[in-house]
Amino acid sequence: MHLLIIGGTIFLGRHLVPAALKRGHTVTLFNRGQHNPDLFPEVEKLHGDRKTEEGLAVLDDRRFDAVIDTCGYVPRVVRLSAERLAGRVKTYCFISSISVYANFRTPGIDESAPVGTLEDTTVEEVTGESYGPLKALCEHAVSTLFPEGALNIRPGLIVGPDDPSDRFTYWPHRIARGGEVLAPDNPNRNTQIIDVRDLAGWTIHLLEQGTTGVYNATGPQQPLSYGALFDTCRTVSGSDARFTWVDEAFLQQEGVQPWMELPLWVPTSDPDTLGFDAINITKAIAAGLTFRPIAETIQDTLTWDATRPQEDAWKHTLSPDKERTVLEHWHARPS
């Protein structure tokens, strides 16, 4: 196949390219050329700004077997790309998000669940509230323009090497440092994640099969608890970390912010999030999604983390000072 990847140089995109090349496919990248321009010298690179008609002109008169859109957040912008490629691409694969769902009140949400909506569908500002509904509108644009060739993939938290968000890397890094580690809620709570390389390889597989439709994409196949994840981080790193499990009411009282500042943690006190870490992935598994061992993801994340500039990291996660303060307050609370 000849694949066009919109983006292709940040996180998922930079793993899609080698996954496709390894399987013998031809890859063309389309982006602005502003991030990691030296990556993948062996592939064709087209530069343009997808936000404008003029920026997309470089795609005119080009044909591809499939396109993978890794960086669509605003429906108007995604629609421009899809309109430009309609009739010249068989399959349009849009990387969406499980955040499209209207709420997570019920565990086991599958692809048929209602998606979020916006009162004003012309909104283009991406916020915590608009992100999911905007992704849903992007999906709709793709499905409208590719009625028989739309593949909308809804990943959960994507993790592994090259992740710029620190939403998972924090835990292998922090646990490898050792000492007393503030851990959220209790060790029996489950979480869901997907290794970026598993997602990338599976996406290429779906395109090879000519698959279309909507798929949740997170993991692993068997439930993964905080306790099991953190213990594996400790084993892989060989650290002396010891975990202090702090209940979520206390964390909120101390002003610890869920999800980003203390990654993976989503308070159960909000009824809209009860099913956030229990997304149904039966359809994806039936379509060939597989998962590498979590220890491999942790080890490779640590290896990559050791090579990156640390001044670019940990801008939003829990600082060592704040972690230490919260733990001191926890131990000093009245018995």
Domains for the chain: give ranges and CATH numbers: 2-155 (3.40.50.720), 170-192+221-277+293-330 (3.90.25)
Q: How far apart are CA 49 and CA 65, in angstroms?
A: 22
Q: How far apart are CA 134 and CA 156, in angstroms?
A: 16
* pLDDT above 70 as % of the chain: 100
Average pLDDT over residues 97-125: 96
Residue 176 pairs with which residues in a beta bridge?
A: none
**For the chain, what is the radius of gyration of the CA atoms?**
21
Q: How far apart are CA 77 and CA 73, in angstroms?
A: 8
How would you class 238 by CB atoms within 10 Å of its CB: exposed for 0-12, middle for 13-18, buried for 19 or more? exposed
Q: Using 50, 70 and 90 to split pLDDT, how confident is the model at 269? A: confident
Distances (CA, A) of 196 to 12, 159, 163, 180, 255: 6, 6, 9, 29, 31
Burial 179-195 (b: 16+ CB within 10 A, else e): eebbbbbeeebebbbbb
Q: Does 212 score more than 80 pLDDT?
A: yes
Average pLDDT over residues 290-297: 98
What is the model's pLDDT at position 88?
96
How would you class 108 by CB atoms within 10 Å of its CB: exposed for 0-12, middle for 13-18, buried for 19 or more? exposed
Contact 91, 146 (CB under 8 A): yes
Q: Using 50, 70 and 90 to split pLDDT, how confident is the model at 176? A: very high
Q: Using 50, 70 and 90 to split pLDDT, how confident is the model at 302? A: very high
Neighbours of 138 (CB within 10 A): 27
Q: Does 312 score more than 80 pLDDT?
A: no
Overall pTM surpassing 0.95 (yes/no): yes
What is the model's pLDDT at position 219?
97
Average pLDDT over residues 120-132: 95
* pLDDT above 90 as % of the chain: 94
Nearest to 192 by CA among 157, 216, 161: 157
What is the model's pLDDT at position 310?
83
Residue 217 pairs with which residues in a beta bridge?
A: 155
Peptide bond into 220 cis (omega under 30): yes
Average pLDDT over residues 295-316: 93
What is the model's pLDDT at position 134?
98
Q: How far apart are CA 107 and CA 296, in angstroms?
A: 28
pLDDT tens per residue, range 27-76: 999 999 999 999 999 999 999 999 999 999 999 989 999 999 999 999 99
